[in-house]
Structure 1
Amino acid sequence: MPAPIVVREYARLTTAPLARNTLDEAHISASAFDWLCELAGRFRSNGASLLQVDGRRWLKLDHYVGVLETPCGQVIEILPKHCEEQDCVPAARALLQRMIAAALELPTRNAEQASLALYDAPLAEWVMQQFLLALDHLLKRGLRFDYQRVEEEQRFLRGQLDVVRQMRQPPGRAHLLHLRHDIYTPDRAENRLLKAALDVVCKHTQDSGNWRLAHELAGLLHSLPASRDIAQDFRAWQNNRLLAHYQPLRPWCELILYRHMPLAVAGGYRGISLLFPMSTLFERYAEQRLRAALPAGARLDRQVTSQYLCTHAGSNFFQLRPDLLLQQGSQRWVLDAKWKLLDASRRSSNYELSQSDFYQLYAYGQKYLQGSGHMALLYPAWGRFNAAKPIAPFQFDARLTLHVLPLALDDPQAGLAVLAQLMQAGAGQTAAAPAAAMC
Structure 2
Amino acid sequence: MTGIHLVEHAPAVRLPLPAAVGQALTASRIVEAAPDPVLPGHWRLRAGSKVGAVTFRLPGTQAFTLRITPKVPVARLFFLMGYALSPSAAPTGHDVDTAEHTEVLPAFAHAYERQLSRALGQGLVQGYRTTEESALVVRGRVREADQIRRRFGQPLPVEITYDAYTTDIPENRILRAATERLLRMPDVPHDVRRRLAHHRARFSDVAPLVRGQALPAWRPTRLNARCHRALRLAEALLRGASSEHGEGALRVEGFLFDMNKLFEDFLCTALREALAAYGGRTELQAKDIHLDHDGTVRMRPDLVWYADQGPARAVVDAKYKAQKPEGFPEADLYQMLAYCTALGLPEGHLVYAKGTEPHTVHRVRNTGITLHQHALDLDQPPNALLRDIGDLAEQLAISALV
Say whether the fold is shared (TM-score over 0.5): yes
Calculate percent identity across the aligned residue pairs. 18
CA contact (8 A) 2:113 2:196 kept: yes
Within 1, Cα distance between the matches of 2:101 and 2:224? 31
Larger deviation, residues 186-195 vs 212-221 = 186-195
1:376 aligns with 2:361: no
Paired with 1:106 and 1:129, the residues of 2 have a C-alpha distance of 21
What amino acid maps onto 1:316 in structure 2? G
1:131–1:253 CA contact under 8 A, matched in 2: yes
CA contact (8 A) 2:242 2:254 kept: no
Q: Contact 2:87/2:270 (CA < 8 Å) preserved in 1? A: no
1:180–1:134 Cα change, 3 Å: farther
1:75-103: CA deviation from partner (whole Å, max 9, x where unpaired):
3222345xxxxxxxxx4433433333344
Q: Is the 8 A contact 1:15 1:29 kept in 2?
A: no
Alpha-carbon separation, structure 2, partners of 1:325 and 1:159: 51
Superposition deviation, residue 287 in structure 1:
1.2
Contact 1:193/1:230 (8 A) holds in 2: no
Aligned partner of 2:372 in structure 1 is 403
Counterpart for residue 188 of structure 2: 206
Q: 1:293 to 1:101 in 2, by over 3 A?
A: same
Distance 2:323 2:106 in 1: 32
Contact 1:374-1:422 at 8 Å conserved across structures: no
The residue that corresponds to 2:55 in the other structure is 69
Contact preservation (8 Å) 1:197, 1:253: yes
TM-fit CA distance, 1:52: 4.3
Distance in 2, matches of 1:293 and 1:280, equals: 20
Q: CA deviation at 1:376?
A: 1.2
Change (3 A) 1:306 1:219: closer
> Post-superposition shift, 1:393?
4.1
After TM superposition, list the pairs within 5 Å mapping 1:331-410 onto structure 2.
332-340=313-321, 342=323, 351-369=326-344, 372-381=345-354, 384-386=356-358, 390-397=359-366, 399-409=368-378, 410=380
Q: Equivalents in 2 of 1:209, 1:112: separation in Å?
A: 24
**Structure 1 equivalent of residue 69 of structure 2:** 79
Amino acid aligned to 2:335: Q
2:7 aligned residue: 7
SS at the partner of 1:224?
coil
> Greater strand percent: which structure?
2
- C-alpha contact (below 8 Å) 1:335/1:377 kept by paired residues: yes
One-letter amino acid of the structure 1 residue matched with residue 353 of structure 2: P
Post-superposition CA distance 1:227-256 (Å, at most 9, x none):
3x244462x433263764354444433444
Tell whether the 8 Å contact from 1:9 to 1:62 is kept in structure 2 after alignment.
yes
Structure 2 counterpart of 1:139: 120
Q: Which residue of 1 aligns with 2:278?
A: 296
Q: Which runs of 5+ in 2 are unaligned?
A: 143-147
CA change 1:422–1:5 in 2 (3 A) is: same
2:145 counterpart residue number: none
User: SS where residue 5 of structure 1 aligns?
Assistant: strand
Answer whether contact 2:304 2:314 (CA < 8 A) is retained.
yes
Q: Distance in 2 between the 1:116 and 1:397 partners? A: 52
Match of 1:214, SS?
helix
What are the within-5 Å matches in structure 2 for residues 108-257 of structure 1? 108-109=89-90, 113=94, 116=97, 118-141=99-122, 142-146=124-128, 148=131, 151=134, 184-204=165-185, 206-227=188-209, 229-232=210-213, 234=215, 236-239=216-219, 241=221, 244-245=224-225, 246-257=227-238
CA-CA distance at 1:207 after TM superposition: 0.8
Cα 1:208–1:121 change in 2 (3 A) is: farther
Q: Say if 2:5 is the partner of 1:36.
A: no
Superposition RMSD in Å: 3.9
**Match for 1:260 among 240, 245, 270?**
240
Q: Which has the higher contact order (CA 8 A, sep 6+)?
A: 2
Whichever of the two has the greater Rg, that structure is: 1
**TM-score, structure 1 as length reference:** 0.69
Contact kept in structure 2, 1:12 and 1:59, CA below 8 Å: yes
Native 8 Å contact 1:107 1:248 kept in 2: no
TM-score (structure 2 length as normaliser): 0.75
Q: Secondary structure at the match of 1:391?
A: strand
Asked if 2 retains the 8 angstrom alpha-carbon contact of 1:190 and 1:233, the reply is no
- 1:150, CA displacement in angstroms? 5.8
Q: Once the 2 structures are TM-superposed, how far is the Cα of residue 9 of structure 1 from its aligned partner?
A: 2.0
